[in-house]
Amino acid sequence: SSVYYSIPITIPNFLYLVWFSVLDASVITPSGLIDGDNTQFGHADQCIQTRVPIRNFRTQFCLPTATFSPQSHQLYPEFYDNQTRDWPPYDMDKTVWSFLRPRDKSIRLSRLKFSWGLCVPEVCTANDIQTSLDTTLAEAFREHNISFRVELTSVMCYSGKEMEERHMPLIGKLWV
């Protein structure tokens, strides 16, 4: 059993607002994975428009992708069996892995991969974020015999600074 100590810290109210804004712009938990909704965007505009009265502090919006699966065939032996039917009516006596397993048709998307919006400080690199998420989530799922891997590249992150640096061409201004 872990023991946690509470240390009273005085935090200015604006930091609570910043924390709430960053948290609110991020996807807390993905939803709809069983139905195949595997991209959860969150609120990118809210994230990059977060204003903080701290010099040079900005936020960035990232879209990491996670892939997960059972670590062993003992957890779900039919997981990679292409003979298992994956269309309605579903066998309701099966586990949730029946709905998430690789599809029998290549046209159907894998439900084992999902992306979610994340709002983080701009000073964090994509590699920092990936390493932190990958380490934390892989460890959390390992005890349940689930393999979990996170991928994130710098292309999947952007900030308000980048938006300011992109100038709209004249033709774009005239069209608007």
What are the residue ranges spanned by the domains of the chain? 13-166
pLDDT one-digit tens code per residue, 72-93: 777 777 676 665 555 566 666 7
Which class for 111: exposed (0-12), middle (13-18), buried (19 or more C-beta within 10 A)?
buried
Contact 72, 79 (CB under 8 A): no
pLDDT one-digit tens code per residue, 128-170: 999 999 999 888 888 888 888 999 999 999 887 766 666 555 5
Q: What whole-number distance in Å separates Cα of residue 31 and Cα of residue 114?
A: 10
Q: What whole-number distance in Å separates Cα of residue 94 and Cα of residue 91?
A: 6
Q: List CB contacts of 148: < 8 A, sequence separation 6 or more.
A: 66, 67, 68, 134, 137, 138, 140, 141, 142
The pTM of the full predicted model, rounded to 2 decimals, is 0.69
